[in-house]
Structure 1
């Protein structure tokens, strides 16, 4: 096994640089932004129902062009078009390691079916998130209230979106990548997927292994892992991230909480009777909502200084810096609908959910009020649209070497998931990021360097490579 892995690491994939020609089936139009002056946009009909929004940053060195690089920024519900329009993920060259990607590839961002500017877009009602409905019911009556809320809000999503809502699972969405590849005229796919983008990429690899030239799965999601186990994995990782943040605060001049017991301060905030006022929302924000807001910042160390200020402000009576994703981002409906297709809820009764609550609180005594997979598992309980792609054993065979990336301190996609996904993919290579935060692409120059080298040359890093 070790010998095979070493040989795989040295495998050189053919470059076969392709001319940057007009892509068949795609009518590109200029859609320049301040961050992307050469950006082009288009729509592609991929089925009788869905039309996919596309954006392209043409290679800046056409003579050395490798091909097209399809990207997905995460989610579920993340817009690849928006990322390119605003120069996210280093494509505005704020991360120098990405310069060669811009030179050698046409970078393609797209909005998966149901997402963003793709049509029909997943559309839900304003009550999809209700602060009065707890994700941690304390009684059977509270549990039934949660189930009823999810059923009604899901039915509203189905009414507003239409029958397309039953076909936005990731297994189906993988077929759209193949449609994009064909329309681009590319013989094989180059893929850079982070977080949810790793799940979507892995589904494509399972369905179309021979169509892959190079594929990076960063912040890896292991779809073979049962939802119950994923909930516990993420609870542990989120608690670890809160402790990492607290430790950082003990030494950093950028932390306004320096000199305080950060964990005790946070715990006291969570116990604030009636929640904390938000000027932006015009109401009090609950402890569960503030925990969600904290999670949205704790996953990226670049946000830690502002997070410390937000915690301090909330303790003083203003929770505007800790507002939950469900209140801030219009893509939350897509996040919920696709997540319910892909992971669903494992809970069979109030007693079952109560037992899982106990496990989560034991594993994450301070951060238990929010993690993405608990939000998914509780939010999908009672969801009226049947799940189409629940976790199951996953096997990718016959593909070119695929690079899987996982972080030792990633609260959103724990390292154990990357290890599991790598085991699921024949001839894959695991790159470990020893730093902090969600995905190596967003947090580590070392990881970006290794990913770019691999995407350009096809050579995976040496076995056992760790970015420190």
Structure 2
């Protein structure tokens, strides 16, 4: 949902723009490829980018790929690429390709200064995925919410929601001249990634993967395992395990975040809930709002009602600079418990709108994000109540995919892991370490480092410890010892 929200907001602003171990690592290091000259990449026609804010030596190119890989001679789109050439070309190993939430060139520009050491031995390559083309060209009909989302409590309510969303998806498809709305799944992005590898002329690639790029990385592992030299994963999801299972892993994270907020509030006189049990106040608000929804009006999103189910989406994942996020959250909770939901109106109504908007949902529904039926939702609820009953409602970002019309292109299912190198993962203990570890643990010999603090996608945030481990692993294929931790910076 974070990535979807960011991309929709970019569209709105007009901007264009994640003992055995040691032996395995040593064996990989011995078989690491020798330095290689830059391959023949004449197909790409690299040129100086000349973009504002881009490093002066950044080069740009493009690759044409089919909208539907099942019809390679059909409608095409163009993907933009950028690279920062290796600064020690005589010792060059190859290329590191970034896979993140969509705006790969923007990510490469943003992280260039922090990846200087990695760049000595590698060309760093980023690309804007097909989702960026979609965001730039999606029709207005796809921007209309398909339903007023709520947590369905009966098969009849679920069926009505599914029917409404199905109609919205069909209207979007009919209005879509690009054909992309049915082909934004991770398997399509993985095939795009392979086309880029071929255009680069590399036998194998190393990968920097961040955030929702984890779905595309998993798809690439499924389709092209022989093309992977190394893979660093930072704050990723685990699509092969299934979205309901990932949501269950997130429930203790939500509890932990609320507890951290309450501990901070107890020690901070400026907190609007100081001197009270802030977590208990928050949970009481959720219960009360489910019984008696709070009417609100947003200047941007109109009128609505705040239920406890909707309010769970407002729990901050990060305290923000100088704890500004926590201060604002405490103030909003304090007002809402007295009937004034204005502090939550814009955020929650925006989230509810995006979570029911086909334009956003088509970027993940093809990866099996929705609930297959009311029985699956009920099964999820039963499991969730045993972990964190206060957050046991349907996942709002998955509920919107209910009613997805075409067959799911990329169903959740186990990945083949034989013959793959060990991967390195990093996840923040506050947000995404559990999901990242669930992904990397599938691959024998892999290691996941917890970053002990808030944040998301640490290499894009300039955090030195994760970047140091990523550089060593990608360069020498040397993994850190199990139990390694990166302290908060």
Indicate the TM-score class for this superposition, using the shorter chain for normalisation.
0.7 to 0.9
* Matched-pair contact (CA < 8 Å) for 1:8–1:427: yes
Q: Relative to 1, partners in 2 of residues 1:418 and 1:242: Cα closer, same or farther, differing over 3 Å?
A: same
Aligned partner (choices 413, 416, 421) of residue 392 of structure 1: 413
1:364 aligns with 388
2:298 aligns with 278
Paired with 1:188 and 1:331, the residues of 2 have a C-alpha distance of: 39
Paired with 2:240 and 2:88, the residues of 1 have a C-alpha distance of: 40
Aligned partner (choices 228, 233, 237) of residue 217 of structure 1: 233
Over the aligned positions, Cα root-mean-square deviation in angstroms equals 3.5
1:198 aligns with 214
Three-state SS of the structure 2 residue aligned to 1:117 is helix
Determine if the alignment matches structure 1 residue 431 to structure 2 residue 449.
yes
**Deviation for aligned residue 1:437:** 4.0
Paired with 2:257 and 2:360, the residues of 1 have a C-alpha distance of: 22
> What 5-or-longer segments of structure 2 have no aligned partner?
1-18, 67-73
Aligned partner (choices 68, 76, 96) of residue 69 of structure 1: 96
**Deviation for aligned residue 1:363:** 3.1
* Matched-pair contact (CA < 8 Å) for 2:39–2:202: no
**Deviation for aligned residue 1:434:** 3.8
**Deviation for aligned residue 1:258:** 4.3
1:421 aligns with 439
1:99 aligns with 116
**Deviation for aligned residue 1:459:** 1.7
* Matched-pair contact (CA < 8 Å) for 1:255–1:305: no
**Worse overlay, 419-428 or 142-151:** 419-428
2:373 aligns with 348
Aligned partner (choices 446, 449, 468) of residue 449 of structure 1: 468
Q: Within 5 Å, which residues of 2 pair with 1:34-433? A: 34=53, 36-47=55-66, 48-59=74-85, 61-63=87-89, 65-74=92-101, 78-84=102-108, 87=110, 90-91=111-112, 93=113, 96=114, 98-113=115-130, 115-117=131-133, 125-128=142-145, 130=147, 132-134=148-150, 136-161=151-176, 163-251=179-267, 257-267=273-283, 269-270=285-286, 271=288, 273-284=293-304, 286-287=306-307, 288-292=309-313, 294-295=314-315, 297-298=316-317, 304-313=323-332, 315=335, 317-319=342-344, 322-323=347-348, 326=351, 333=358, 335-349=360-374, 353-354=377-378, 356-357=380-381, 359-361=383-385, 363-368=387-392, 374-410=395-431, 413=432, 415=434, 417-433=435-451
Paired with 1:291 and 1:285, the residues of 2 have a C-alpha distance of: 14
Q: Relative to 1, partners in 2 of residues 1:83 and 1:333: Cα closer, same or farther, differing over 3 Å?
A: farther
* Matched-pair contact (CA < 8 Å) for 1:51–1:120: no
2:15 aligns with none
**Deviation for aligned residue 1:177:** 1.0
Paired with 2:192 and 2:230, the residues of 1 have a C-alpha distance of: 18
**Deviation for aligned residue 1:303:** 8.6
* Matched-pair contact (CA < 8 Å) for 2:228–2:420: yes
Paired with 1:237 and 1:361, the residues of 2 have a C-alpha distance of: 15
Number of residues paired by the alignment? 444
> What 5-or-longer segments of structure 1 have no aligned partner?
none
Paired with 2:446 and 2:480, the residues of 1 have a C-alpha distance of: 11
1:14 aligns with 33
2:8 aligns with none
Three-state SS of the structure 2 residue aligned to 1:431 is strand
**Deviation for aligned residue 1:327:** 6.9
2:4 aligns with none
- Name the TM-score, length of structure 2 as normaliser: 0.78
For 1:351-377, what per-residue CA distance to the aligned partner results, in whole angstroms no more than 9, with x for missing partners?
Answer: 65345345435533444557xxx2343
Q: Relative to 1, partners in 2 of residues 1:363 and 1:301: Cα closer, same or farther, differing over 3 Å?
A: farther
Q: Relative to 1, partners in 2 of residues 1:218 and 1:457: Cα closer, same or farther, differing over 3 Å?
A: same
**Deviation for aligned residue 1:189:** 0.9
* Matched-pair contact (CA < 8 Å) for 1:298–1:304: no
